[in-house]
Structure 1
Amino acid sequence: MATQVVQNQSLKNTYSAFTQFWENVKAIAGPYWYPTKAGERAFSDVIRVWGMLILLILLIITLVGVNVFNSFVQRYLLDLMIKDKDLPKFLDALLLYGGVLVLATLLVGFTKSLRKQIALDWYHWLNNHILSKYLSNRAYYKINFKSDIDNPDQRLSQEIEPIASNALSFSATILEKVLEITIFLIILWSISSQVAVILVAYTIVGNLIAVYLTQELNKINQEELESKADYTYCLTHVRNHAESVAFFRGEKQESSIINRRFSNLIKNAKRKIDWERNKEIFNRGYQAVIQILPFIVFGPLNIKGEIDFGELSQAALSCNLFAMALAELINEFGTSGRFSSYVERLSEFSDALEEVTKQPENVSSIKTIEENHLAFENVTLQTPNYEQVIVEDLSLDVRPGEGLLIVGPSGRGKSSLLRAIAGLWNAGTGRLVRPPLEEVLFLPQRPYIILGTLREQLLYPNTNRQMTDAELKEVLQQVNLQNLLSRVDGFDTEVPWENILSIGEQQRLAFARLLVTHPSFTILDEATSALDLENEGRLYQQLQDTKTTFISVGHRESLFDYHQWVLELSQDSSWQLVTVQNYRNQKAVVTIPSTNPQREIDDSSQDKSLIKAEISTIEGFSHKEMNELTYYSITTIRSKASKGEFITNRDGVTYRYDKDPNVLKWVRV
């Protein structure tokens, strides 16, 4: 009873697996062959590909018919040679036989060519279809948060083409070989029904064994795909982080990781070799029995004169062609395991891309409104999985031309606010007002360097913009990259930029894009962290000159000089928005030395006089000396002194101007 339950469960699992496989095939093939949604496929393209498919089917049927006709011509030739011995008829038949062989050869060539052309057309469309899903609605970004989808790049580059080619190969082979098996069985039946019945029974048993052998191969093929993807990924990971590995001298550890994944690949390959050996032995033995069968049955009959040699030859040829057709059929079913693996992975990937772009149900999200300014209105921002609150009930408004600096402890969500502005994260409540994203330029800490020429690097993301070489040279001069042209052949040179540019040069290149694009709004996520203070000051001064509205994330005190407002995020998801001057006053601590720390001064006039005396002893700098220590002109320094504003020198030290008549110097805060 238990055995029967297990068998029933196994049958259910097999049926369920087949049903799921067929659903996956329909999901992948449907939009190409049977488009149901408007805009999926042009009607003319659908008609063209169906016409090619019908032509392929007709060619296959014609090819099978020619092969069958050839078997009768060959039988007739043998009879003319052995029994009739008629030379003129023999030459005519030989000419016909040769013509049919030429026709069969041409049909084989055209059939395979047309099959590959259809597969290529399907691959072209399917790749563009999946790539469109991948790049739309930022699915390529959101898919990274879905842990069960591994190696999306390999699924795109290596696992789409085999689906189209294998599907056409499998379908065409099935049609061709089923037709051949059927017709050659009919021929054998006309010669001997007994042999035909034996072959049918033998075929059923053989296919059952073949299905058993291919089931394990299907699992091995799936594991092979995964192990190859993991091995490729770890090699790519080392290439992308080569400098970090070199700094840490991590070659030994990386070698261990690579060898571990390569060992899994080899272990899987050995299992596959063992199963393929068993399958090959079965296939060869299976064919051998079919090939020897007609001689066992028809040989004695020919010797007794009950059938002629032509019939014996045709029966042997039919059995041989039957065996070959059946072997190819079994082989196709064997490789269908790999095909099903590709279908399963691509269907899973396609479904995941659709899923991550859907708005989750029964959860709150931040509402986004497009206007010509940036504001958070009672925004509570959470992580995409809604497990952590980043900032709570945030309300602020950044007006055009202003600069906002976001500060706070590491890991408190400074960059997450930028993701919210970009529309990458919207988990939470409240309303976000921002300009259209086309008017916003994002400068991350590690700039994105595209695969392209220097001209395309500078014009990115609007690579269709037209700018002369002279204009681009001026931009490079402004960001202190004028020497870059001496390292390459020109603006249309394409080299591995990430390898030849330092992080600081990459950050200056990102600022060059800003000067080219002239966006209305700029978001900078520690975009000058790799630059010295002189280059940072020059770039931010140019940023201010563009009159753009900008939001920065950073830790350097020098950044306060270029912003009007500071948003400070705290550990408990709270926040405060203050002017730069007030924030500096909050953080500034002036330590006044005292000869007697225990002494209490009750008289206010005595207190003031002591403070003046002590301040007068503090070392300070004149306007001219501050000019030499900073990037500011004498005029700007005098202006900041009169307004009571702070100045940060090249070493990141902040000073204020003491207007006391006894001091009149820039003193350190």
Structure 2
Amino acid sequence: MPTQVIQTQPTKNAFSSFIQFWGDVKVIFGPYWYPTKPGERAFSDVIRAWGMLILLILLIIALVGTTAYSSFVNRYLVDSLIQDRDYSKFTNILSINIVVLVCLTLLTGFSKFVRKQIALNWYKWLNNKILDKYLTNRAYYKINFKADIDNPDQRLSQEIEPVTTNALNFSATFLEKVLEMVTFLIIVWSISQNIALILLAYTIIGNLIAVYLNQELTKINQEELLFKADYSYALTHVRNHAESIAFFQGENQESNILGRRFSNLLKNIERKISWERSSEIFSRGYQSIIQIFPFLVLAPLYIRDEIDFGQLGQAALACNLFAIALGELISQFGTAGQFSSYVERLSEFSDALEEVTKQPENVSTIKTIEENHFAFENVTLQTPNYEQVIVEDLSLSVQPGEGLLIVGPSGRGKSSLLRAIAGLWSAGTGRLVRPPLKEVLFLPQRPYIILGTLREQLLYPNTNRQMPDAELKEILQQVNLQNLFSRVDGFDTEVPWENILSIGEQQRLAFARLLVTHPSFTILDEATSALDLQNEGRLYKQLQSTKTTFISVGHRESLFDYHQWVLELAQDSSWQLVSVQDYRNQKTINIQSTPNNESQNQSQILTETITSERLSHKEISELTNYSISTIRSKASKGDFITTRDGLTYRYDKNSSVLKWLRV
């Protein structure tokens, strides 16, 4: 996907940004915690999720309470040792302290485990939900036409899990640290109200600064996601087109492209490092100042014996823990910036998937009728954006067992008609009659090679079907792939087939699927373009033997031998449907009726390409499917003849020649 140009976005105030963020959160997270649509989530799953969340909250409360209690135990431990000098009391309190530390350890471990388990369950649900949207109503295909949605594959694979993990980490940490700060503030208040008031004011100022700094980090994180996605896509692009790059020796150009995208990523990382440096200095300095307060205020009180040493130590410990909690809370605001970037991109992606699958309003679409044959009834097909008419008022019907060949200039919409049959393009008017898509096998020019075993390649799309190895070997023989089995260990071997098979072998493998599934209807989009004429003829004869009804797109004249009808598309969106024989006759007449100067040029071209090969009527008959009488008739008319191997001949009526000459 091309690198996206990052444009300056209109400046938003903090309130509007928060409203937008909260709206995105509700769209993404709402159905998990508050399902409103029937069947959206099982009631038992919702109860289980809330049960685990409540358990996590209780564990956090218990952890904070135990930590606060631990500060009092430490205070009494110090007093028993320094002031009371009572060893028995000291050992009793020490035993309590050990139990408290064990509880803290267990509570910390269990709270983190429950937090991660909730995040994992949430991630599993959210991934399945977005993936279901992606694969429903061919959204994965339609989303490619939206230029503002970059790298959908990365959004699925790398940007869903951080959303749930960051959400749980931020929420749990925020709750834990706020509770700790409130608890320690109360403890400090019980010892010195002055320190408590200073800490409270200091906290408010620190959080306001953190929110301000977080705005810049949010921008950096959004750019980081985009630059990482672009760089990852460029690397994948090189892997997928390795052979083409090697043929062109385009390593330098690819290196420049990768270098540019990596440079953008590096600049973003440098900005983030600079921001993190400033943030770390601010956070550490902020915590250090807090730790000084209790000694400045309480030291004079201790010297005057107004408080004991245990209170001084507890206040210092509480302020230290308060500072640590505040520092972690500030760092969480930085994480929240990255979290908001993930939420924004995921919400944008989810909305785009819903948008592309909606039926457009107030626009005309081709009506599809499912019956057991192919027919176009007054169909006018347009591009999906309704900007261009591909074919106008098309009406035809393909009879069972017949073959229709679609021809025309490149870019005229031959493949677009196949997209209309498949339901990918529906912009236009009229009615399209076709069988259910599960009864139609599509063979594109570049076959789809799945990630799987050789057996799964042959059985696709019905990979659960059972078929003996002997039958599969026979089918490989029929499509001239008998040597393929010797290149792997067996039908259950999984290798990168797209890399080890040539395009021609892949096209023959696609034909093998046809012989496996025996579909009633087949669509071929230049499915033999990479094959020689001998292999092409062999495969089309296999196709004809299955008695399937098929529609082909192609340019080769050799394809006429395997079809009964020709649909020719013209540049002006017009069309004509004629029999193969009539179409050939038309082309011959057109050549013969060209103006004199063009006729002379054509004659000159033919003369220059005539070889020394001269064949009799009988020899031509043996190379074609025509009878001797038909050969003579064509000779008298001056028609051209194409043999089974794709060579074209014309009859020279010169009395000194009277032979068929190859042109």
Q: Does the TM-score normalized on the shorter chain lie above 0.5?
A: yes
Give the Cα–Cα distance (whole angstroms) in 1 for the partners of residues 630 and 163 of structure 2.
Answer: 68
Give the Cα–Cα distance (whole angstroms) in 2 for the partners of residues 621 and 80 of structure 1.
Answer: 122
Correspondence for 1:611: none
Given the alignment of the two structures, is residue 649 of structure 1 paired with residue 634 of structure 2, yes or no? no
Correspondence for 1:460: 460
Correspondence for 2:66: 66
CA deviations 1:156-186 (Å, max 9, x no partner) are: 0000000000000011111111111111111
Q: Is the 8 A contact 2:370 2:435 kept in 1?
A: yes
Q: TM-score, normalised on structure 1?
A: 0.91
Q: Is the 8 A contact 1:641 1:656 kept in 2?
A: no
Gaps of 5+ in 2: 1-9, 598-611
CA deviations 1:64-120 (Å, max 9, x no partner) are: 111011111110000000111111111011011011101110110010011000100
Instruction: Decide which of 612, 617, 621 is 2:616's aligned counterpart.
Output: 621
Match runs of 1:234-633 below 5 Å = 234-588=234-588, 619-623=614-618, 626-627=621-622, 629=623
CA shift in 2, pair 1:193/1:409, >3 Å: same
Q: Is the 8 A contact 1:392 1:574 kept in 2?
A: yes
CA shift in 2, pair 1:475/1:664, >3 Å: farther
Paired amino acid for 1:456:
E
Paired amino acid for 1:315:
A
Give the Cα–Cα distance (whole angstroms) in 2 for the partners of residues 64 and 637 of structure 1.
Answer: 97
Counterpart secondary structure, 2:516:
helix
Give the C-alpha shift of residue 336 in structure 1: 0.4
CA deviations 1:518-538 (Å, max 9, x no partner) are: 111100000000000000000
CA deviations 1:507-557 (Å, max 9, x no partner) are: 000000111111111000000000000000000001000000000000000
CA shift in 2, pair 1:590/1:324, >3 Å: closer
Given the alignment of the two structures, is residue 204 of structure 1 paired with residue 199 of structure 2, yes or no? no
Give the Cα–Cα distance (whole angstroms) in 2 for the partners of residues 352 and 637 of structure 1.
Answer: 61
Q: Is the 8 A contact 1:134 1:140 kept in 2?
A: yes
CA shift in 2, pair 1:23/1:643, >3 Å: farther
Correspondence for 1:613: none
CA shift in 2, pair 1:150/1:590, >3 Å: closer
CA deviations 1:300-356 (Å, max 9, x no partner) are: 211221100000011001001101111111111111010000000000000000000
Correspondence for 2:602: none
CA shift in 2, pair 1:94/1:578, >3 Å: same
Give the C-alpha shift of residue 359 in structure 1: 1.1
Q: Is the 8 A contact 1:621 1:667 kept in 2?
A: no
Give the Cα–Cα distance (whole angstroms) in 2 for the partners of residues 115 and 639 of structure 1.
Answer: 86
Give the Cα–Cα distance (whole angstroms) in 2 for the partners of residues 527 and 134 of structure 1.
Answer: 28
Correspondence for 2:221: 221
Give the C-alpha shift of residue 621 in structure 1: 3.2
Give the Cα–Cα distance (whole angstroms) in 2 for the partners of residues 397 and 665 of structure 1.
Answer: 40
Correspondence for 2:189: 189
Q: Is the 8 A contact 2:224 2:265 kept in 1?
A: yes
Give the C-alpha shift of residue 370 in structure 1: 0.3
CA shift in 2, pair 1:656/1:72, >3 Å: same
Give the Cα–Cα distance (whole angstroms) in 1 for the partners of residues 293 and 205 of structure 2.
Answer: 16
CA deviations 1:565-604 (Å, max 9, x no partner) are: 0000000000000000000000025989xxxx9xxxxxxx
Paired amino acid for 1:544:
Q
- Number of equivalenced pairs: 633
Correspondence for 1:122: 122
Give the C-alpha shift of residue 637 in structure 1: 5.8
Gaps of 5+ in 1: 1-8, 598-616
CA deviations 1:123-172 (Å, max 9, x no partner) are: 01100100000011000000000000000000000000000000000111
Counterpart secondary structure, 1:490:
coil
Paired amino acid for 2:615:
G
Give the Cα–Cα distance (whole angstroms) in 2 for the partners of residues 331 and 202 of structure 1.
Answer: 16
Give the Cα–Cα distance (whole angstroms) in 1 for the partners of residues 409 and 618 of structure 2.
Answer: 34
Give the Cα–Cα distance (whole angstroms) in 2 for the partners of residues 56 and 642 of structure 1.
Answer: 92
Counterpart secondary structure, 1:271:
helix
CA deviations 1:461-501 (Å, max 9, x no partner) are: 11111111111101100100000011111111111111100
Give the Cα–Cα distance (whole angstroms) in 1 for the partners of residues 41 and 163 of structure 2.
Answer: 19
Counterpart secondary structure, 2:484:
helix
Q: Is the 8 A contact 1:77 1:93 kept in 2?
A: yes
Counterpart secondary structure, 1:481:
coil
Counterpart secondary structure, 2:480:
coil
CA shift in 2, pair 1:240/1:591, >3 Å: closer
Give the Cα–Cα distance (whole angstroms) in 2 for the partners of residues 656 and 469 of structure 1.
Answer: 48
Give the Cα–Cα distance (whole angstroms) in 2 for the partners of residues 200 and 268 of structure 1.
Answer: 36
Q: Is the 8 A contact 1:170 1:332 kept in 2?
A: yes
CA shift in 2, pair 1:84/1:235, >3 Å: same
Give the C-alpha shift of residue 653 in structure 1: 2.4
Paired amino acid for 2:128:
N
Give the C-alpha shift of residue 663 in structure 1: 11
Kindly report the root-mean-square deviation, in angstroms, between the aligned alpha carbons of the 2 structures: 2.5
CA shift in 2, pair 1:621/1:426, >3 Å: same
CA deviations 1:390-418 (Å, max 9, x no partner) are: 00010000111110000000000000000
Q: Is the 8 A contact 2:139 2:353 kept in 1?
A: yes
Query: Higher mean Cα deviation, 298-307 or 167-176?
Result: 298-307
Give the C-alpha shift of residue 457 in structure 1: 0.6
Give the Cα–Cα distance (whole angstroms) in 2 for the partners of residues 591 and 413 of structure 1.
Answer: 25
Q: Is the 8 A contact 2:617 2:632 kept in 1?
A: no
Give the Cα–Cα distance (whole angstroms) in 1 for the partners of residues 14 and 590 of structure 2.
Answer: 78
Give the C-alpha shift of residue 664 in structure 1: 10
CA deviations 1:411-457 (Å, max 9, x no partner) are: 00000000000000000111111100000011000101111110111
CA shift in 2, pair 1:301/1:664, >3 Å: same
Q: TM-score, normalised on structure 2?
A: 0.92
Counterpart secondary structure, 2:412:
coil
Percent of aligned pairs with the same amino acid: 77
Counterpart secondary structure, 2:400:
coil
CA shift in 2, pair 1:63/1:141, >3 Å: same
Query: Higher mean Cα deviation, 311-320 or 12-21?
Result: 12-21
Give the Cα–Cα distance (whole angstroms) in 2 for the partners of residues 259 and 298 of structure 1.
Answer: 59
Counterpart secondary structure, 1:483:
coil
Q: Is the 8 A contact 1:640 1:646 kept in 2?
A: no
Correspondence for 1:602: none
Give the C-alpha shift of residue 650 in structure 1: 5.0
Paired amino acid for 1:652:
G
